[in-house]
Amino acid sequence: MTTHTITVEPVGREVECDEDQTILDACLRAGVWLPHSCTHGTCATCKVDKLDGEVDLGEASSFALMDFERDEGKLLTCCARPRGDVTIEADLDVDEDMEVHPVEDYTGTVVVLEDIAQDTKRLVVELDREVGFNAGQYMKFTVPGADGAEPCDRTWSIGSPPGESSRLEFHIRNVPGGRGTDGWVFSTLATGDEVRLSGPYGRFVLKTGDDKHAILVGGGTGVAPLKSMVRHALEAGEYEGDLTLYAGGRTRAHLYDVDVFRALADEYDEFTYRPCLSDETPEQVEADGEDPDDYAFGMVTDVIEADHAKLSGCRGYLCGPPQMVDAALKTLMSRRLFPRDIFREDFFDESDKNSTGLKSPLIKR
């Protein structure tokens, strides 16, 4: 395999990169942190300037990397592969609270695979060795090919805290027709199977040591990285401020780990849990023998607006489908929470490569 040298400016670090390897992968494995989020050419977080050399731009979305940007020499490091020695210039604003863990390959065994909500499974993998990661990061799985197809990669957020470093939990929503979900996790994957994965990836992490009230907003399986953050903050004492988790679902059938979060809220005074139902009413909940006071009703954004007249001085952590994240972003900003204190993780899928989805550059992802 031909290898080329990637020079990362302005720090002058040199990294060896195979021709079939992305620039992002080579750098992260060498312990050189580059900004990134989705890792499949959709979000544009990893966009950098190419100062010298030739690359294959790969499968970068035409919306994440516009034609004029390609002409200007920009590239997405998560897709670009070198065709010679390459020099890039990147924004290396690593957060002081974020420990950089080099990306490595792992082999794991499926020890838990269970239904936890409508169209949602919990996957727990026992790794062959410990992995270091920050609360909120994710792992990349190799999805085996079927019927002669080549393997592909899919990414899922870690739902367990960093203290559980060899047994990782993931929450996975089924996507009809999806190779990683419908075609694997929800069909052929079984307890006892061996899986291949790598990581950790992502910059959507808990700001440990912070003392600001953290407003965490999750839609669907966007709760996964927030669960990792909440458990790490509470159980490891890694956060000085209060935390409020807003978990949104259409119905109770779409929510999961409700008992887990309620138990944490009972144990820790600094944690508040707000499960929100958009398509059920208090009367329906009461008719099923449950206390309506245990839930909030309406869209997550409506509940946040009713709970808080203002949020200045807080932190915002938003995770889930792009539309929900956008709506929550507007709500937090309307309550006087500055963009610099809002962090987001949008859950894209392969179809998003063919649609617009670029987010405000003011928001850290």
What is the number of structural domains in the chain? 3
Domain end position, chosen among 62, 89, 116: 89
**pLDDT given at position 365:** 33
**pLDDT given at position 149:** 83
Question: What Å distances lie between residue 212 and 137, 316, 328, CA to CA?
Answer: 21, 10, 18
In-domain check, residue 259: yes
Domain end position, chosen among 145, 175, 201: 201
Q: Environment class of residue 269 by beta-carbon count within 10 Å: exposed (0-12), middle (13-18) or buried (19+)?
A: exposed
Q: What angle do CA 341, 27, 33 make, to 5 degrees?
A: 20
In-domain check, residue 206: no
C-alpha–C-alpha distance, residues 97 and 343, integer Å: 14
Mark residue 258 as left, alpha or beta (left: phi above 0; alpha: psi -120 to 50; beta: remaining): alpha
Residue 283 belongs to domain with CATH number: 3.40.50.80
If asked whether residues 69 and 10 sit together in one domain, one would say yes
Q: What is the DSSP letter of 304?
A: H
If asked whether residues 347 and 231 sit together in one domain, one would say yes
C-alpha–C-alpha distance, residues 138 and 227, integer Å: 13
Amino acid occupying residue 255: L
Say how far residue 334 (Cα) sits from the centre of its chain. Answer: 24
If asked whether residues 74 and 43 sit together in one domain, one would say yes
If asked whether residues 176 and 254 sit together in one domain, one would say no
Mark residue 53 as left, alpha or beta (left: phi above 0; alpha: psi -120 to 50; beta: remaining): left
**pLDDT given at position 56:** 97
Residue 10 belongs to domain with CATH number: 3.10.20.30
Identify the helix (H) or strand (E) that includes residue 282. Answer: helix 282-287
In-domain check, residue 185: yes
Structure tokens at 145: 């090919």
**pLDDT given at position 327:** 96
C-alpha–C-alpha distance, residues 109 and 153, integer Å: 17
If asked whether residues 331 and 250 sit together in one domain, one would say yes
**pLDDT given at position 359:** 42
> What count of other Cβ atoms lies within 10 Å of the Cβ of residue 350?
16
Contact of 27 with 94, CB cutoff 8 Å: no
Per the document, the length of the chain is: 365
Q: Going residue by residue through the chain, which has 365 residues, state the pLDDT in tens, using 9 for 90 and above.
A: 899 999 999 999 999 999 999 999 999 999 999 999 888 898 899 999 999 999 999 999 998 999 999 999 999 999 999 999 999 999 886 666 678 899 999 999 999 999 999 999 999 999 999 999 999 999 999 999 877 788 999 999 999 999 999 999 999 999 999 999 999 999 999 999 999 999 999 989 999 988 999 999 999 999 999 999 999 999 999 899 999 999 999 999 999 999 999 999 999 999 999 999 999 999 999 999 999 999 999 999 999 999 999 999 999 999 999 999 999 999 999 999 999 999 999 886 655 544 444 443 333 33
The reported pTM is: 0.91
C-alpha–C-alpha distance, residues 167 and 130, integer Å: 8
Q: Where in the sequence is the domain holding 273, given as residue range(s)?
A: 214-354
